[in-house]
Amino acid sequence: MGLTALRGLDRDDEGFGMVEVIISMMLIALLAVAMLPVMLHGLRASTVNTEATVATQVVNREMDTATAGGELHDCDTIANDWPESGRELSEEIGGQQRTVRWSAEYPDGPCGEGVIPVKLTVQVLNSSGTGSLAEASTVVRAGPL
């Protein structure tokens, strides 16, 4: 009498059967379906973060350009590049068209003979134009050069 006969097993009883394999595949599929919402949420969050990062890079680029002139900026240049009423440009940011808005505030009145502070603001708006993805402001000194 062999060892398998003592245990009460035939050669056909060794290993996994088809039913066990199908049940384990169904359990794996069920776990994969349960993880799908988590993966989709992560993908959406990644897209939003990418848009915000690219918008921030655009704002930083514009702020660097605005402050590159040194200590004193020419009033005429600021008035042309940064109008009080604002200037807008549609630009592709993060694979979608976004609006970049430049504006200036003159708290001490318009440029005259002396040097005045000017607040420059750059915004990158979302596609609907209602919310800001990134925004920055800086104050520069402007006067006649």
Residue by residue, DSSP assigns 79-145 as HHHS-TT-EEEEEEETTEEEEEEEEEE-TT-S--SS-EEEEEEEEEE-TTSSSEEEEEEEEEEEE--
What are the domain boundaries of the chain? 3-143
| pLDDT tens digits, one per residue of 91-121 | 777 677 888 888 888 887 777 778 888 888 9
Tokens of 99: 């609006």
The total number of residues shown for the chain amounts to 145
56, pLDDT greater than 60: yes
The arrangement of strands across the sheet holding 87-93 comes to: 72-74, 132-143, 116-125, 96-105, 87-93
Res 12: pLDDT: 60
Res 94: pLDDT: 67
| pLDDT tens digits, one per residue of 2-41 | 555 555 555 566 678 889 999 999 999 999 999 999 999 9
* Mean pLDDT of all residues in 42-48: 89
Res 26: pLDDT: 96
Res 100: pLDDT: 87
Res 112: pLDDT: 72
Res 6: pLDDT: 54
DSSP 12: G
pTM above 0.85, yes or no: no
> How large a percentage of the chain has pLDDT more than 90?
19
If one compares 145 and 137, the residue with the highest pLDDT of the two is 137
